[in-house]
Structure 1
Amino acid sequence: MSEIVRWAVNFKNFRPSKEELVKAVSCVQSEEKDRLIKFHFLDDFYSSLIGRLLQRKFVNEFGSLGYSDIHFSRDEKGKPIVNNKLNSHIKFNVSHQGDYTVLAGFVADKCQSGIGVDIMKIDYKGGKSIPEFFRLMTKHFSIVEWSNIRKHLKEREQLKSFMRHWCLKESYVKNIGVGITVDLQKISFEIHEDQLMTSNIVESTKLKVNGVSMVNWRFEEHLIDEDHCVAIALSDVQNCATGPFRFFNSEELLENSRQVTEFDEQYCEQVFTKAFKKL
């Protein structure tokens, strides 16, 4: 049985002091620091930093490498991987959106097994009406999916269903590593339980691609709070137990961490000049 790890951090609550940020940043690689500093908003910096810390924590706890011995690179599709062939069985994926950064991962029995995770905040601030927004997004959903979305009478419920479907699609394409450049209309989900609840994990959702049922795929849907849905896409993973997300605070996130780059106060001073996104 594969043990699926499901971790979450509310980065909206991540407000480190300068000393705390210096320590956190020292726990990621130099090239990761270079990527992080390019973010314009502080929210994006924090959410991405947390994602990198979650990855390192996961590989340290479930792989065979010490914390400071872990080195990440990216595969030909841009997905982060552990740069060590002995750890090719470590599968993980990270997503951040809304208020949370989440990680899902496991130790694979088969090299072809995979995982993808996506989180969506059930919110829309695009400026257009919901009907007009849906019209513009028509080509990204199948007839079956639109029927399921529009069967709800209230716009809020339609939006929940829309975000749920989008989250499922993202989890699938992140698993296979192609991004949303594929024809999303050919990726069609069949929803068998209308409502997601924080007290329940939905596993009954099925997928068809180009009209063919994906029998070796399994999807977990979580509502981690009333405003955020999460989908985990598992491919060719057998006998894995379902479970809720575990939430970490900043202290727990850095527990057992080790310094991998030099302390850099100047870097962190530059970080603190960034602004938060306006609500």
Structure 2
Amino acid sequence: MKWMKYSYSYCVIPKRKSIIMESIRWAFNTRLWTPNKADWMTALSLIQPEEKERIGQFVFRKDAKSSMAGRLMMRKFATEVLGLSWSEAKFQRSEKGRPYLVNMPVQRSGVDFNVSHQGGWAVMAADVGSSIGIDVMEVEYSGGKSVPEFFHTMRRQFTSSEWSQIYSFNDEAGQLASFYRHWCLKEGVVKALGVGIGFELQRVSFQLATKTLPVNKITADTRVKIDGSFDDCWQFEETLLDPTHSVAVARRYDSPQTGIRVTELVPFTQLSFDDMIASGEQLTCPDETMAEELVKKEETPW
């Protein structure tokens, strides 16, 4: 088995049989990936048939690339970290759309993982001993309305305290960065809980100690109120992958966390396409027709 050089720390589940595993924080820049037909044929052959069909249905190539990156990262994780062979790993989605590994090894039963993709990045986080959710958002607004009008349509998604933090910036760029940062945090909580669409986002309110996120440096001093009370079972890791992409990892423990060890704050490791397929095994026959169709698709709507 080939092991890549990752940034990691060791986490141990308290009050259970000890399980030691690397904390995974992976990122893949989809805008820097320009797959040709051969790349698509290779990638499509490495994923499950239903995943392949889903990716082929995307209208724009950027969405197909992002979805493919997420699937390849999960399978890489199952193979290189959890110890399954590439072909052994079987993924499904919950009723709420959250991907999970059907045949999680018994000795890894305390492991959780999550993926997200938006803008120019696909990301993945995995840990042991907590439920985990991750979200990435491009800090950019390109809608037809003005920023104040956009915020007005979204007013019910945030609490008054959160809007105060957003409006504490005097410029629209700062307000948008804070808005998308809050959105990443909320999505991280929803995904860690596995509840999907329909969760009332105003039940969750964040208190930010660090006003502006740094690039490629983890901030972990955000706290959350659930239904009006601080809930210290949550730990949040936030950073900017680049100046225009905010990412948040939300981890929920069974008991409150009294502090965050610096050794647990793992920076994101940027993967290449070759990194993601290094342990790959062919699961389906190479599909030249679908690969050609994907190459011909428009990258974006504009």
TM score, norm. by length of structure 2:
0.87
Decide which of 86, 111, 115 is 1:90's aligned counterpart: 111
Find out whether 1:133 has 2:156 as its counterpart: no
Output the CA distance in 1 between the equivalents of 2:186 and 2:215: 21
**Does structure 2 retain, via aligned residues, the 8 Å contact 1:73–1:81?**
yes
Find the residue that maps to 1:95 and give its secondary structure: strand
What is the aligned partner in structure 2 of residue 246 from structure 1? 269
CA positional deviation for 1:58: 0.8
The share of aligned pairs that are identical, in percent, is 40
Larger deviation: 16-25 or 27-36? 16-25
Find out whether 1:186 has 2:203 as its counterpart: yes
Output the CA distance in 2 between the equivalents of 1:136 and 1:20: 41
Change (3 A) 1:85 1:102: closer
Find out whether 1:195 has 2:212 as its counterpart: yes
**Does structure 1 retain, via aligned residues, the 8 Å contact 2:60–2:301?**
no
Count matched residues: 275
Change (3 A) 1:83 1:199: closer
RMSD after superposition: 1.6
Output the CA distance in 2 between the equivalents of 1:17 and 1:155: 39
What is the aligned partner in structure 2 of residue 66 from structure 1? 85
Find the residue that maps to 1:179 and give its secondary structure: coil
Amino acid at match of 1:166: W
In structure 2, list runs of 5 or more residues that go unmatched. 1-9, 12-21
In structure 1, list runs of 5 or more residues that go unmatched. none
What is the aligned partner in structure 2 of residue 225 from structure 1? 242
User: Can you list the C-alpha shifts for 1:95-151, whole angstroms capped at 9, x where unaligned?
Assistant: 111100001112x24xxx210000011100011111111111111100110010001
Amino acid at match of 1:33: K
Find out whether 1:157 has 2:174 as its counterpart: yes
Output the CA distance in 2 between the equivalents of 1:261 and 1:278: 30
User: Can you list the C-alpha shifts for 1:159-183, whole angstroms capped at 9, x where unaligned?
Assistant: 1111110110011101111224211
User: Can you list the C-alpha shifts for 1:182-233, whole angstroms capped at 9, x where unaligned?
Assistant: 1111210001110101142110000111112111110000111100010000
What is the aligned partner in structure 1 of residue 32 from structure 2? 13
Find out whether 1:268 has 2:291 as its counterpart: yes
Output the CA distance in 1 between the equivalents of 2:292 and 2:62: 16
Decide which of 120, 129, 136 is 1:99's aligned counterpart: 120
TM score, norm. by length of structure 1:
0.94
Output the CA distance in 1 between the equivalents of 2:252 and 2:213: 22
What is the aligned partner in structure 2 of residue 204 from structure 1? 221
CA positional deviation for 1:251: 1.5
CA positional deviation for 1:51: 0.5
What is the aligned partner in structure 1 of residue 280 from structure 2? 257
Larger deviation: 15-24 or 41-50? 15-24
